[in-house]
Structure 1
Amino acid sequence: MKEIEKMQAGLEYCYDDEDISMMKLHAIENANIFNSLPEDDLDKQHEVLCEILGSVGEKVWIAKRFCFDNGKNIHIGNNFTGNFNLTILDINKVCIGDNVMIGPNTTITAVGHPLSPKGRRKHLAQGGEVRIGNDVWLGANVTVLPGVTIGNNVVVGAGAVVTKDIPDNSLAVGVPARVVKKIENDI
């Protein structure tokens, strides 16, 4: 099995494999294209996002600098706001629902590395799908780790590190993020 096939299957793979390196280089080129577009040309921004990402809904706005590993594994619903310096490491699927707001300097990563130094020296990585529900607000400087599902109507406070699933209708804060209260779903 090729390393890129292992990656796509969610298995442990070598991240400096030639095919994977080319995929990342292509993603960097696509990110540079998007990031070079005029801020006021929303139609062109949407057109480019539709070309470089897996799927994109309506009323999607992402501020500059937007960075990603692949692009095609990112799926964004309708009415999305991604603030400045959004990084989505989409080695695996990252699915974002409708009516989602993401604060500046947020990182969503669908890839992790081994705890063992032997594995890290071999440049191993493994992906884990990330799912973000509808009506979610991730505050500034939030980090979402691989394999996490964030439910619907969730607020994650600024600076939180989401290491495990967050249920619907929750406010989660801290490092690691933990639910501190239930919030009303008023829709």
Structure 2
Amino acid sequence: MNELQKAAAGLLYDANYDPALLAKRRAAKRILFEINNLHPDEDEKRTQLLKGLLGKTGQNITFDGQFHCDYGFNIEVGENFYANVNLVILDGAKVTIGNNCFIAPNVGIYTAGHPLDAERRNKGLEYAHPITIGDDVWIGAGVTVLPGASIGSGSVIAAGSVVRGEVPPNVICGGNPGNVIREINERDSQKYR
């Protein structure tokens, strides 16, 4: 089993010294450098580069400002995806984001984690667990999504939250660690009419 297969299986893998993984990250960094240094008027070129980098996208996607990831091919975003500035996705494992999702500035989505014992951590070993974000999700500014998290469709993650585990659909989740604050209900749809 190679290091990429170990990562996909959720096992400890060599993320820092394996030549094949380093080459894949270097290839992604080259594309990201080009994306992140384009003139703001070059939207079409930016979108085409992103679609080539990511594993799967909808037709209508927007990444404003700087974007960083490890590999790109492990990231799938749906239709009408919007990411504000400074999105970081560490995609050692699959990151699946549904349709109509909005991500505010300075959000980190991290599939990667490290062993607690220093001996294995110092050898460059890490693990990765997939992250799933459903349709119609809004993630507020400064949110951190941890390895293995799942966010249900229609949910809103409050600014500054740390998401771990499972967030049910159609709720507001906030805090560190993130907890369900309340369900989203009919009053919420009437609020701005």
For 2:12, the equivalent position in structure 1 comes to: 12
Distance in 2 (CA, whole Å) between partners of 1:143 and 1:136 is 14
3-state SS of 1:147 partner: coil
| Alpha-carbon shift at residue 42 of structure 1 (Å) | 2.5
* Residues 1:149 and 2:150 are matched in the alignment: yes
The normalised TM-score by structure 1 is: 0.94
One-letter code aligned to 1:8: A
Contact 2:8 2:94 in 1 (8 A): no
* Residues 1:174 and 2:156 are matched in the alignment: no
Distance in 2 (CA, whole Å) between partners of 1:150 and 1:75 is 15
Distance in 1 (CA, whole Å) between partners of 2:140 and 2:160 is 7
One-letter code aligned to 1:135: D
CA RMSD of aligned residues (A): 1.3
List 4+ stretches of structure 1 deviating above 3 A.
Answer: none
For 2:82, the equivalent position in structure 1 comes to: 81
Distance in 1 (CA, whole Å) between partners of 2:163 and 2:171 is 13
For 2:2, the equivalent position in structure 1 comes to: 2
| Alpha-carbon shift at residue 88 of structure 1 (Å) | 0.4
Distance in 1 (CA, whole Å) between partners of 2:4 and 2:55 is 17
CA-to-aligned-CA distance 1:16-52 (integer Å, 9 cap, x gap): 1221112111111111111122223322222111111
The normalised TM-score by structure 2 is: 0.92
Distance in 2 (CA, whole Å) between partners of 1:10 and 1:177 is 23
3-state SS of 1:40 partner: coil
3-state SS of 2:126 partner: strand
CA-to-aligned-CA distance 1:120-173 (integer Å, 9 cap, x gap): 112111111100001101000000011111000110011000011100011000
| Alpha-carbon shift at residue 111 of structure 1 (Å) | 1.1
Contact 2:53 2:73 in 1 (8 A): yes
Give the percent of matched residue pairs that are identical in Structure 1 and Structure 2.
39
Distance in 2 (CA, whole Å) between partners of 1:130 and 1:146 is 6
One-letter code aligned to 2:4: I
* Residues 1:132 and 2:138 are matched in the alignment: no
Unmatched segments (≥5 aa) in structure 2? none
One-letter code aligned to 2:68: C
Q: Which 10-residue stretch deviates more, 141-150 or 34-43?
A: 34-43
One-letter code aligned to 1:33: E
Unmatched segments (≥5 aa) in structure 1? none
3-state SS of 2:88 partner: strand
Distance in 1 (CA, whole Å) between partners of 2:27 and 2:4 is 14
Q: Which 10-residue stretch deviates more, 45-54 or 135-144?
A: 45-54
3-state SS of 1:56 partner: coil
For 1:47, the equivalent position in structure 2 comes to: 48
